[in-house]
């Protein structure tokens, strides 16, 4: 199970993630897969397949949420999934 979390401290947001990568019975923690990245002024983090997360990073390079709200983020994720 992967974990990405964020905490708001007044004027900043701190994000963190674990470093484990799993596939079947294989587990690695050598740090070759990045789960957090700053892209286009946004902190982007994800769990799931490395392939899909890398596609999200690429998508975020050219797209922004419509607003910094839950609804804006939902629209952003729906657009990515299409």
Convert the pLDDT of each residue in 1-49 to its tens digit: 788 999 999 999 999 988 877 777 777 776 667 889 999 999 999 888 8
What pTM was computed for the model? 0.81
* DSSP assignment of the chain: ---EEEEEETTEEEEEE---EEETTEEE-SS-S--EEEETTEEEE--S-HHHHHHHHHHHHH---SSSSHHHHHHHHHHHH-
**pLDDT score for 77:** 95
């Amino acid at each position: 199970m992967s974990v990405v979390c964020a905490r708001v401290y007044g004027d900043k947001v701190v994000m963190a993630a674990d470093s484990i990568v799993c596939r079947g019975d294989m587990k690695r923690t050598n740090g070759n897969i990045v789960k957090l990245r700053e892209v286009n002024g946004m902190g982007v983090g994800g769990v799931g397949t490395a392939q899909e997360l890398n596609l999200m990073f690429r998508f975020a390079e050219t797209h922004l949420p419509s607003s910094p709200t839950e609804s804006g983020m939902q629209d952003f994720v729906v657009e990515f999934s299409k």
